[in-house]
Structures are given as structure tokens and as C-alpha cells.
């Protein structure tokens, strides 16, 4: 298998692979273009974002600055909104449902590194997908870690570090993020 296939299947892969480096470079250039487009040119910004992301619906708004690794692994639903400084490390699929609102300074990180230092130092890494349901509000400064699913109709409190799945219809917060109450 090639390194891209390994990456997308959750296997160890070499991120320094030339194909992956070129794909990231292409995405970084588009992110730079997006982040430097005048804010009043929202239509142009959305055209660029549609070039970056793997799938969008009609209505979305992502405030600059925005960064991701590949872009093609990100899918956003209808009425998606992200405040400033969204970072998505999309070495695996990152899927957002409809009516998702994300506060400022949030990160969704599919990339992970082996615990064994010899393997980690060899440059190998792996990635696990992230899924966010419909009608989810993610507060500011939240980190969502590899392999996590957040259910429908959830609120994730500001400053949370989400390391485990969050069920539907809850408010969850903390480090590590835990269910606080049912909605």
C-alpha cells in the first residue's frame, strides 16, 4: 500500500512521503489564499473554501484564520459556522453534521503518534477519524482528539479536551471532557 492509503486506513504511515507533502503544500497554499482574502469578499472566500474542503453544503461560514492539512478529508453540513482560528488536522476523515457552531481557537486533531519512542522517532504516525453530529455547539478553546465521535444535539463546554465519545443530547465539559447533564 502507498502512504496515502495507509494514512486513510488508520495504519502507520510516513508523513514525509512526497505525495503527502505535495498534497499538504497545495492545501496550505489555498489556506493562505483564504486567510488573506479581504473579509468583504465573502463569496470569493467561500469559493476558495469549497476548493479546500472535501464536501460542503450551501450555507456555511468559516472565519479566518483557518488551517488544515489536506482539506479533502473534511465534510461540513448545512449551516456550519466556525469562529476564528479553527485548526483541523485531517489526516483521517473529519465529518460535521448540520447546524454545527464552533467557538474560537478550536482544534480537531485526527493525527496521532506512536507511544513507542523508536517508532515515533522514525517519522511514522497514524490517524483516526472524528465525527460531530447535528445541532452541536462547541465552545471556545476546545480540542477534539483522534477517533472521537460527538453525538447529536450536544454542547461541549469551553476549554474542554474531548478524548472519548460523547453521546447524543448532553452538555459535556472538562479535561478530560465528561457528561455534565442530559438535555
**Cα-flanking dihedrals φ and ψ of residue 137, to 5°?**
-115, 120
Predicted pLDDT of residue 83: 98
Closest listed residue to residue 75, CA positions, set 30, 5, 134, 7:
134
Cβ-Cβ contacts under 8 Å for 106 (sequence gap 6 or more) = 82, 83, 85, 86, 87, 138, 140, 141, 142, 143, 144
Domain count along the chain: 1
Spatial separation of the C-alpha atoms in residues 156 and 179, rounded to whole Å: 9
Spatial separation of the C-alpha atoms in residues 132 and 124, rounded to whole Å: 27
CA distances from 27 to 6, 133, 166 (A): 20, 25, 30
Q: Residue 3 CB: number of other CB atoms within 10 A?
A: 19
Task: With H, G, I as helix, E, B as strand and everything else as coil, classify residue 42.
Answer: helix
Spatial separation of the C-alpha atoms in residues 110 and 88, rounded to whole Å: 8
Residues designated catalytic: 113
Range of the domain at 116: 3-182
Predicted pLDDT of residue 109: 98
Angle, CA of 54, 91 and 59, to the nearest 5°: 30
Closest listed residue to residue 168, CA positions, set 152, 156, 181:
152
138: CATH? 2.160.10.10
Predicted pLDDT of residue 98: 98
Alpha helix (H) ranges present in the chain?
3-8, 18-35, 42-52, 117-121
Predicted pLDDT of residue 76: 98
**Residues of the chain falling short of pLDDT 70:** 1
Predicted pLDDT of residue 26: 98
- By CB atoms closer than 10 A (0-12, 13-18, 19+), residue 108 is buried
Amino acid at each position: 500500500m502507498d502512504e496515502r492509503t495507509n494514512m486513510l486506513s488508520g495504519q502507520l504511515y510516513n508523513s514525509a512521503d512526497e505525495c503527502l507533502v505535495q498534497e499538504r503544500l497545495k492545501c496550505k497554499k489555498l489556506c493562505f489564499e483564504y486567510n488573506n482574502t479581504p473579509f468583504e469578499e465573502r463569496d470569493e472566500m467561500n469559493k476558495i473554501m469549497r476548493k479546500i474542503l472535501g464536501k460542503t453544503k450551501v450555507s456555511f461560514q468559516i472565519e479566518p484564520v483557518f488551517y488544515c492539512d489536506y482539506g479533502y478529508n473534511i465534510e461540513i453540513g448545512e449551516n456550519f459556522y466556525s469562529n476564528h482560528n479553527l485548526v483541523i488536522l485531517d489526516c483521517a476523515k473529519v465529518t460535521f453534521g448540520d447546524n454545527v457552531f464552533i467557538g474560537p481557537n478550536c482544534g480537531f486533531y485526527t493525527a496521532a503518534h506512536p507511544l513507542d519512542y523508536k517508532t515515533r522517532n522514525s517519522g511514522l504516525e497514524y490517524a483516526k477519524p472524528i465525527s460531530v453530529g447535528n445541532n452541536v455547539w462547541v465552545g471556545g478553546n476546545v480540542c477534539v482528539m483522534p477517533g472521537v465521535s460527538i453525538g447529536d444535539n450536544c454542547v461541549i463546554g469551553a476549554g474542554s479536551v474531548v478524548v472519548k465519545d460523547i453521546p447524543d443530547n448532553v452538555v459535556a465539559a472538562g479535561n478530560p471532557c465528561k457528561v455534565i447533564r442530559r438535555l
